[in-house]
Amino acid sequence: MFRCLLKTSHFLLLACGLPALLVTDRDSEAASGLFKGDVACAARNEFNWSGAPKTMIRICSRPYWNHTGVVLESGATYELKAAGTWTDASRDCGPDGYLRGNFFQELFRGLRRSPSNQWFALMGALDDSRDTIFLIGSQATYVPPRRGELVCFANDVPGFYWNNAGSVTLSVSRRE
């Protein structure tokens, strides 16, 4: 089951799951981190690897964490591939991010969520845990140290996700 969020000027519509639910702007902005025109879809249930060897997930640039619903098993090997373009303020880039920001950004370089990785690179973690953060970029092979849900984000400075736009598509497959 997928849950999709579509923000209109007055309501946040959760439309992909049944039944649909409407909540007000004031309640939804703080909870979701989404703004007018943003759409975010991610699986919300555990993914059954035996039923389908690969899944595609849309990762949006504004949420602090993108919960995928994909549960990775400890010790298994996963191939992650991402494509698309997202925007940091007015700078477009792909899932590998970009090396240097403008003068203002460079003042805050060390405050990125993963300071050793590029601006706006696609990152992953297990269960919102900062100690499991790893680089996905456009391609990665990952062996989780423990079981957990794959969550993703654009590598940016906390508090500066408001000026992000767009999304990338991530495919996850388990290597047999």
Give the pTM.
Answer: 0.72
Report which DSSP code applies to 136. Answer: -
Q: Which helix (H) or strand (E) holds 140?
A: strand 139-142
- Please give the Cα distance from 160 to 167 (Å, whole number): 16
Task: Give the residues across from 87 on adjacent strands.
Answer: 92, 165
- Cβ within 8 Å of residue 140, ≥6 positions away: 79, 80, 124, 134
DSSP string, 66-78: EEEEEEEPTT-EE
Cβ contact 155:112 at 8 Å: yes
Cβ contact 114:132 at 8 Å: no
Per-residue confidence in pLDDT tens, the chain, 176 aa:
333 443 333 333 333 332 222 222 333 333 344 433 344 444 333 455 554 567 889 999 999 999 999 999 999 999 999 999 999 888 999 999 988 776 667 777 788 899 999 989 999 999 999 999 999 999 999 999 999 999 999 999 999 899 999 999 999 999 87
Q: At 172, phi and psi to the nearest 5?
A: -125, 125
Residue ranges and CATH numbers for the domains of the chain are: 1-37 (no CATH), 47-175 (2.60.120.430)
Q: 77-88 and 91-93: which strand pairing?
A: antiparallel
